């Protein structure tokens, strides 16, 4: 399948500041990963733009937080409706800049909107600790203030919506900074937001790392919600320290999946495959290390190969494509380097898929076995369409190997015996452990990591409350 079709946007969306759409003289090129051509040139926000946005957000905070919860939730639903009306346009922009197939891009947006709809139905009641003749003690949840939301390039709109939703519901204006690699759809989302939200409540600024640092250090921003690498997360945490910003950090993962010896291999094969290779393997909580009993290794490898052989890789705008390119050249070269290094160390590539002729950061689906845990392909987060299969003989040993990582975002256990799987799951060091699936994220369940995979959680009432501070009202009586 050729990927020579070039799509260039006639015009790019602008920054959104204080209810207005703003252009800039400085521009930043955005590359379509399926063609390696410039898709658009977007505004490159300066520190001055950030100052304007923060001032607008702080002005907006007074009126937005003064609205009662039900009114904010109703306006949030209006925003959901506005985005849904434009989902086809937004999905196309996501595909063009991120690379994923069009139906997956639409699914990403739909998932984010379903999360917002759930948040718009949550109750955040006052908690009464004590109500006696002597004393009344209440816990109130108050808006945290202005939020800086910094998103990653693998799910640009889903991650933006995950940060916008709690901000809207809790009364905290938000400034979203998308990845400089995928800013187009998020900028357009910001334009749509201005049609239904008060000025300053949701603003979007595109820019590079210097803008992210300015957001992290700005004294007028009260909280940072960041999704990305652990390296960037530690930098943000350090930058936010002097102003004691509240932090939600969803960072990288090198998730282990452990297959037990009682499984029906054919029954779990699809779950294993897509657990590791959905979104071209570019999933923070994706399955990245697959541990299989030695006696089942051939059966699992054969089952994964059969699925991989059916996967069509190509331009996400084309019919029938199931997997797009890696999003950017740097990541493409990183993934290729991991595979080349593993092969040089003696690993066996037992399946290598086909990729389109022509340009694009297309990496073949690659299934690898015969490597040790300390090979970088297994010990580091590869973030591409590659799945290493490792074998084990002893359950205690494999649990120790799975936990032998500085990261702890997710993990999974695969077994026909739920009780037995639970026993293994209880021993794994991860923020989420799935049984017979990987990963499953829904807006009613908290999601976050342990160790260096992050701080705090997103989604569910717990994620929403992370956009609030506790305020205690304590009255002495009598």
Catalytically active residues are: 250, 284
Rounded to 10 degrees, the C-alpha dihedral 147/150/151/156 comes to 70
| DSSP H helical ranges for 24-85 | 47-66, 69-85
Range 182-198 burial, b when 16+ CB lie within 10 A, else e: bbbbbbbbbebbbebbe
Tokens of 383: 């973030």
| φ and ψ of 8, to 5 deg | -120, 130
Residues in CB range of 380: below 8 A, 6 or more apart: 254, 338
Report in angstroms the alpha-carbon separations of 20 from 149, 188, 192, 307: 19, 13, 11, 49
Residue among 448, 6, 33, 5 at smallest CA distance from 279 = 33
Asked whether the bond before 439 is cis by omega within 30 degrees of 0, the reply is yes
Nearest to 236 by CA among 218, 204, 212: 212
Helix ranges, 354-417 (H): 376-379, 395-403
As a residue count, the chain comes to 478
């Amino acid at each position: 399948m050729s990927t020579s079709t070039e799509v260039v946007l006639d015009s790019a969306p602008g920054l959104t500041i204080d209810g207005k759409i703003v252009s800039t003289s400085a521009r930043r090129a955005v590359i379509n990963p399926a063609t390696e051509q410039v898709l658009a040139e977007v505004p490159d926000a300066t520190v001055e733009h950030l100052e304007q946005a923060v001032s607008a957000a702080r002005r907006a905070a007074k009126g937005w937080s003064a609205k009662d919860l039900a009114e904010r939730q109703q306006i949030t639903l209006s925003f959901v409706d506005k985005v849904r009306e434009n989902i086809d346009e937004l999905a196309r922009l996501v595909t063009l800049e991120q690379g994923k197939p069009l139906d997956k891009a639409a699914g990403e947006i739909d998932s984010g909107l379903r999360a917002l709809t759930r948040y718009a139905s949550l109750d955040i009641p006052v908690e009464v600790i004590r109500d006696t003749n002597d004393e009344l003690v209440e816990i109130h949840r108050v808006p945290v203030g202005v939020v800086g939301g910094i998103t990653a390039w693998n799910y640009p709109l889903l991650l933006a919506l995950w940060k916008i939703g709690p901000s809207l519901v809790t009364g905290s204006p938000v400034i979203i900074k998308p990845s400089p690699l995928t800013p187009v759809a998020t900028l357009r989302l910001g334009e749509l937001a201005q049609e239904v939200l008060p000025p300053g409540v949701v603003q979007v600024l595109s820019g590079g790392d210097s803008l992210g640092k300015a957001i992290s250090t700005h004294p007028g921003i009260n909280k940072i919600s960041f999704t990305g690498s652990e390296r960037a997360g530690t930098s943000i945490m350090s930058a936010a320290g002097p102003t004691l910003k509240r932090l939600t950090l969803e960072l990288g993962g090198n998730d282990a999946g452990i297959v037990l010896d009682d499984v029906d291999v054919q029954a779990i094969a699809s779950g294993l495959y897509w657990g590791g290779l959905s979104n071209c393997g570019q999933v923070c909580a994706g399955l990245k290390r697959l541990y299989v009993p030695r006696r089942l290794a051939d059966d699992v490898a054969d089952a994964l190969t059969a699925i991989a052989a059916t996967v069509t890789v190509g331009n996400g705008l084309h019919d029938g494509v199931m997997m797009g390119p890696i999003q950017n050249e740097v990541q493409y070269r990183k993934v290729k380097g991991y595979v080349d290094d593993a092969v040089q160390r003696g690993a066996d590539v037992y399946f290598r898929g086909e990729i389109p002729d022509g340009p694009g950061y297309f990496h073949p689906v690659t299934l690898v076995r015969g490597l040790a845990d300390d090979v970088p392909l297994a010990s580091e987060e590869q973030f591409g369409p590659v799945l290493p299969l490792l074998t084990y003989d002893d359950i205690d040993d494999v649990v120790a190997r799975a936990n032998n990582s500085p990261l702890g975002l997710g993990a999974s256990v695969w077994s026909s015996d739920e009780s037995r799987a639970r026993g293994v799951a209880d021993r794994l060091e991860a923020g989420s452990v799935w049984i017979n699936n990987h990963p499953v994220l829904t807006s009613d369940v908290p999601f976050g990591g342990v160790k260096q995979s992050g701080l705090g959680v997103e989604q569910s009432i717990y994620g929403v409350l992370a956009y609030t501070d506790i305020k205690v009202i304590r009255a002495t009586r009598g």
